[in-house]
Amino acid sequence: MINPTEVNSLIRLLDDTDAEVYEHVHQKLLSFGNEAVEYLESAFEQAFDPIQQERIANLVHEIQFGALKNDLKLWHQSGAFDLLQGILIINRYQYPDLDEQKVINQIESIKRDIWIQMMNEASPVEQVKLMNHVFYSIHGFSGNTANHRDPQNSYISQVLESKKGNQISLAIIYSIIAQKLDIPVYGVNLPQHFILAYLDESRETEFEGGILFYINAFNKGFIFGRRDVDMFLKQLNLQFDKQFYEPCSNSDIIKRVIRNLISAYEHLGSSEKVDELNELLAIMGE
């Protein structure tokens, strides 16, 4: 436990004009980690000095970004099994104070609405059509075609609030819900487009890996086949590559989300955010 009196005394020294004093205070507060954040935020509200305010804000961000990097490294190194946990870690970059239980509850609520209507003997196509009905028609999710490059499209809390997202964010929410319902739907890292595959290894299928069909989460869960993927790759002048047809890892999905954010912030000219997101990409082994 940290000593509140000591922390508050240090915070008061943040506007010291002596660079050496400031650096010492900064490092000491940084060493307290997340425990110091509530004291810093409280001091920020009471501070009138713009230099002190800026220094407090930067320090809070530094502490929270350090914790985020640590969480991402742990998630990646321990096998990246939980996609929802991975995307929530990325969400912390823009929304560090978000109550993440709210996101989990929103996903559970959509899952429950689908589960209530799910029939025991539904075929894979029937399962997906039912999911599509609840996800798109009842809950109102759709692709954000108007502001496709908006970074908000990549933050799961915002996509769940606005019901609009990009290809990958909608596919992530869709696949997380499907897997919670034991529907085997997984992400496929197609160039310039992110799609989903319905897997059934117990059946003979027209292609390897037990894929029955593909789903376009950006286009209201549209179902399509391997030939459509062939045609798409042909249009892009790309050679056949197995990875364009088969499910990718959760780590690959999160890397793609980070790359999307880098591209969005480059477009907005936010170089500091681009640098930080490149740090996150490096943690993922890029």
Q: Average pLDDT of each block of 10 consecutive residues along the chain (286 residues)? A: 83 81 87 87 83 88 95 96 97 95 97 92 93 97 91 96 96 97 94 91 62 94 90 83 88 96 96 97 89
Range of the domain at 98: 83-283
Q: Are residues 99 and 139 in the same domain?
A: yes
Would you state the pLDDT for residue 112? Answer: 97
Q: Are residues 56 and 89 in the same domain?
A: no
What does the alpha-carbon distance between residue 187 and residue 117 come to, in Å, rounded to a whole number? 24
- Amino acid letter for position 239: Q
As for how many domains the chain has, the answer is 2
Q: Are residues 148 and 124 in the same domain?
A: yes
Q: Are residues 110 and 133 in the same domain?
A: yes
Q: Are residues 42 and 116 in the same domain?
A: no
**Torsion angle, CA of 148/154/157/158, rounded to 10 degrees?**
-20
What does the alpha-carbon distance between residue 30 and residue 8 come to, in Å, rounded to a whole number? 13
Would you state the pLDDT for residue 162? Answer: 96
Would you state the pLDDT for residue 201? Answer: 67
- Token pair of 164 as six digits: 């609009």
Q: Are residues 47 and 135 in the same domain?
A: no
Would you state the pLDDT for residue 197? Answer: 95
Last residue within a domain, chosen from 17, 52, 77: 77
Q: Are residues 200 and 127 in the same domain?
A: yes
Q: Are residues 23 and 39 in the same domain?
A: yes
Q: Are residues 25 and 165 in the same domain?
A: no
- pTM value is 0.91
Last residue within a domain, chosen from 21, 56, 77: 77
